[in-house]
């Protein structure tokens, strides 16, 4: 429903009949799929996946290899499969984004660049969802699958990429980044401040 509502902005109304669903999904640009952000879109295109038809033809193992758990979600969503329960509003404990890299990396400049892309993607999501969090968490998985997480709590709730990156780069110094190859990078926010009624009402309208 969310994907369809994006097609006819600003009205947000699109009628897709059951018999038209497959054709609609196959013709959809890859960046229009729910859950495919700017970073994932670039990686999809690099893999030769530009639209729903090419995503549908992609092997499940290949998607999981390049996108982790999200690979299964992409594999299902292009087939119109989404078994998540529909809830008009639920309190979210944390919200984040992580990327499994095509190749293990060591270069700090590249690591910083990827983290910046994640932070910018999250900023857009946080503002769209009316989320501001006090706890910022960095997730790093090394080439040997050792997992490392570092967190910090800030006084003022954050939702901007600049604030997130300032803390993430500080946390990164307490990892082995630059000395040990990295396979996965992730950022998340938690410990959200209470939403005011106006923000919650706007969020519900956007979800519709």
13 contacts 38 by C-beta, under 8 angstroms = no
What CATH fold (topology level) applies to the domain 2-77?
Answer: DNA polymerase; domain 1 (1.10.150)
* Residues 6+ away with beta carbon under 8 Å from 139: 96, 98, 147, 148, 149, 184, 185, 186, 187, 188
82 pLDDT tier (thresholds 50, 70, 90): confident
Across 31-49, average pLDDT: 88
In the three-class reduction of DSSP (H, G, I as helix; E, B as strand; rest coil), residue 206 is classed as helix
- CA 99 to chain CA mean position, Å: 9
> What CATH number was assigned to the domain covering residues 94-198?
3.30.1490.100
Q: Is residue 99's pLDDT more than 50?
A: yes
Phi then psi for residue 94, to 5 deg, are -155, 160
Please name the helix (run of DSSP H) or strand (run of DSSP E) that holds residue 190, with its range, or none: strand 182-192
What is residue 38's predicted lDDT score, i.e. its pLDDT?
A: 81
Q: What is the mean pLDDT of the chain?
A: 83
Query: In angstroms, rounded to a whole number, what is the distance separating the alpha carbons of residues 79 and 164?
Result: 35
Which residues of the chain form CATH 1.10.150.20?
2-77
CB atoms within 10 A of CB 11: 8
**pTM of the predicted protein model:** 0.56
Residues of the chain with CATH 3.30.1490.100: 94-198
Average pLDDT over every residue of 11-37: 75
pLDDT given for residue 95 in this prediction: 87
pLDDT of residue 105: 96
């Amino acid at each position: 429903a969310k994907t369809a509502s994006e097609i006819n902005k600003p009205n947000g109304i699109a009628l897709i009949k059951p018999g038209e669903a497959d054709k609609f999904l196959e013709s959809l640009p890859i960046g229009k799929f729910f859950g495919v952000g700017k970073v994932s879109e670039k990686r999809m295109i690099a893999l030769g996946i530009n639209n729903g038809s090419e995503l549908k033809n992609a092997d499940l193992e290949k998607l999981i290899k390049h996108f982790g758990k999200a690979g299964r979600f992409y594999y299902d969503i292009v087939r119109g499969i989404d078994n998540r329960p529909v809830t008009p509003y639920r309190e979210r404990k944390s919200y984040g984004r992580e990327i499994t890299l095509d190749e293990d990396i060591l270069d700090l400049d590249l690591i910083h660049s990827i983290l910046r892309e994640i932070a910018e993607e999250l900023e857009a999501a946080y503002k769209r969802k009316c989320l501001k969090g006090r706890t910022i968490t960095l997730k790093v998985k090394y080439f040997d699958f050792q997992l490392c997480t570092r967190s910090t709590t800030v006084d003022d709730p954050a939702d901007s990429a600049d604030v997130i990156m300032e803390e993430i780069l500080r946390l990164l110094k307490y990892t082995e980044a630059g000395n040990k190859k990295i396979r996965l990078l992730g950022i998340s926010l938690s410990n959200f401040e209470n939403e005011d009624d106006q923000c919650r009402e706007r969020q519900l309208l956007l979800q519709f």
